[in-house]
Chain A
Amino acid sequence: MTAVAVGAGPRTRSHLGSGLSRLLVYTFLLAFVLYVLSPFLAILVNSVAEGWFGGRVLPAGLTLRWFDWAFNVTNLPKVMGNSFIIAGLTIAISLAIGLPTAWALGRRRVRARNMLMTLILLPKTVPPITFALGLSREFYAFDLVDTHLGVALAHTTLALPFVVLIMSATFEGLDERVLDAGRVCGGNWLRNLVHLVLPMAMPGLMAAVLFTFVTSFNEFTLTLVTYGPETLTLTVQTYLSIGDGFLEVASAISVVLLVPSVLLLILIQRQIRPENILGGVKGL
């Protein structure tokens, strides 16, 4: 392996040597591809499987019954609606309180800037379960349990660090000369904000919105301690279905859950560099 490993420069596409080493590399890559993809394949097959047990490679038949169950028995449309409402609220709250802070951290002189940044990133570094119990008790006291707003507020603790991190970097990178030009040309602050800052910050803003959406859509720990019958989300419903032993129904719900993530993955490939999402989405 190492004979292949240290070779020609990294900036050129290079041939892989020959013979055994080449075979080894492709075996390794094939194994990696299968390793990453096979769980998804298993879920896809399981969600339409009829009689898939007893050591069969493929199910005996195909059925859409599990999707039917998911939609009717577990009331998937309502659950999905909850997930979208909560994600939308989370985006609104995170942007409303995150953007001013990101602007201050990115473009203004802030004392103890690093300390503030660390504090804002803390909810992403400490496992959510460590403050989930306290949050749950607080929500009971404030009557926020089983409200869309409450669950969204819980999600915002995890989304806010993203918004501040991505947007402060975006704002910091804005070209000062363009803003100056806007002012010289007589634009007032509102005009400059809408016509100059907004378009320039748009790529970062899109990234922040996407990550906030996926954070909320995929959040489990804090949802589990703040949800109720009226605010059941897709993630909690998946958990409950697995707990009830209905793996096929859980698979069907999972397929629905996969759609936004896959769309995001495609968008990322087109728009955002993978390095930017480090410290990114985690479905704890």
Chain B
Amino acid sequence: MAADRLLHRRPSRPGASAAWYPGDRALTAALLAPALGFLVLFFVYPILITFGTSISSPEGTGVTIDEYTRILSSPKDWGVIALTLGLAVGTTVLSVLLAIPLALILRRRIRGHRALRLLILAPLMILALVSALGLLILWDRNGWLNLLFSRLLPFSDGPLSIDYTIPGLLIFYTWLYSPFTILTTLSAIEGIDPNVEEAARVSGAAPWRVFRSVTLPLAWPGIRAGSVLTFLLAFGAFSVPLIAGGNNRPLPVLIYTEAAVFQNFERGSALAMVMAVVALAAIAIYIRFSSTTGRGSRS
């Protein structure tokens, strides 16, 4: 009976290796078909439509690569790509700088470390749009942080402009996307055998030297794994720069604006394809790195 073949391994052998699965190709294909069909229909096909739109001429006659040549020869568009990449790289660096000291403290299981671990997750669970709204209110020219700064630094000239600026976007992105880096960094640093560090210390290494030559290299694969996620999310961020970017429009906002506001679907689609290619290149680099040195990141 087909359903029986579905549920049970055949023949049942005690101590059979866990890697042994029944190979009934027709049944396996039937199980995989719905999800694959769905992906083709609602993921692959939309990408094909986007590509098709990007190479169709506005009059609907034939194929053209005008939009791509226009993007690649436009300093303004290169500026947008640079802004998007720069925000992603900056966010990644800030996240790593935040993650390492935090992980080094949390590994010591100080009182309240469970609550802190939960707190790390908070930005992941909450809609980016809501977080961005909170950050906008917080960093407003009349917001709490500017009130605090004006009391701490009475000689400063006027409130800081953070909202709708590039440094502001960096702060917001780091708040939103650093949890991925923090989580893997924490997991990597807690996975390090303390005896290795102890050995370095006993051999006379100063604390900074132990950190730089032992702790950091051992934790690096984990730090890198998380930071790539942070990078990808910051690269693809849409809702946050849409409401908090002001005149700074990274690629996703530009794509949306071109298509939805200016009804220029050809240009919007071409920009979307450029964005997809850059994102895929980043993933390819990630997979290459993680397959050669990614071991040891999971504890």
Task: Say whether B262 faces chain A, with CB atoms less than 8 Å apart.
Answer: no
Q: Nearest chain-A residue to B145 (Cβ)?
A: A38
Q: Nearest chain-A residue to B38 (Cβ)?
A: A97
Among the 9-residue stretches A64-72, A73-81, A199-207, A249-257, the one with 4 or more Cβ atoms under 8 Å from chain B is A249-257
Q: Main secondary structure on chain B at its contact with chain A?
A: helix
Q: Nearest chain-A residue to B143 (Cβ)?
A: A42
A16 with B108, Cβ < 8 A, contacts A6-B197, A134-B50 known = yes
Pairs A–B under 8 Å by Cβ, sample size 13: A4-B104, A5-B215, A36-B122, A57-B147, A101-B36, A109-B23, A129-B275, A131-B46, A133-B269, A220-B239, A250-B133, A251-B137, A284-B239
Whether the pair B7, A129 counts as a contact (CB closer than 8 A) is: no
What's the least CB distance linking B72 to chain A, in Å? 18
What's the least CB distance linking A136 to chain B, in Å? 8
Task: Say whether B35 faces chain A, with CB atoms less than 8 Å apart.
Answer: yes
Q: Nearest chain-B residue to A96 (Cβ)?
A: B34
Whether the pair A131, B238 counts as a contact (CB closer than 8 A) is: no
Q: Nearest chain-B residue to A17 (Cβ)?
A: B108
In whole angstroms, how far apart are the Cα atoms of A180 and B10 in the complex? Answer: 10
Whether the pair A101, B272 counts as a contact (CB closer than 8 A) is: no
Whether the pair B229, A278 counts as a contact (CB closer than 8 A) is: yes
Task: Say whether B289 faces chain A, with CB atoms less than 8 Å apart.
Answer: no
A-side contacts of B30, CB under 8 Å: 100
Task: Say whether B70 faces chain A, with CB atoms less than 8 Å apart.
Answer: no
Whether the pair B239, A5 counts as a contact (CB closer than 8 A) is: no
In whole angstroms, how far apart are the Cα atoms of A256 and B135 in the complex? Answer: 17
Whether the pair A243, B43 counts as a contact (CB closer than 8 A) is: no
In whole angstroms, how far apart are the Cα atoms of A205 and B98 in the complex? Answer: 34
Show the binding face of A for B, using Cβ within 8 Å: 1-14, 16, 25, 28-29, 32-33, 35-43, 46, 53-57, 96-98, 100-101, 103-105, 107-110, 116, 119-120, 122-123, 125-135, 137-138, 153-154, 156-157, 160, 164, 176, 179-180, 183, 188-190, 192-193, 197, 214, 217-218, 220-221, 224-225, 235, 238-239, 242-243, 247, 250-251, 254, 257-258, 261-262, 264-265, 268-269, 274-275, 277-284
A-side contacts of B1, CB under 8 Å: 189
In whole angstroms, how far apart are the Cα atoms of A156 and B143 in the complex? Answer: 38
A-side contacts of B38, CB under 8 Å: 97, 156-157, 160
A97 with B183, Cβ < 8 A, contacts A126-B279, A129-B255, A179-B7 known = no
Whether the pair A128, B238 counts as a contact (CB closer than 8 A) is: yes
Task: Say whether B175 faces chain A, with CB atoms less than 8 Å apart.
Answer: yes
Whether the pair B138, A42 counts as a contact (CB closer than 8 A) is: yes
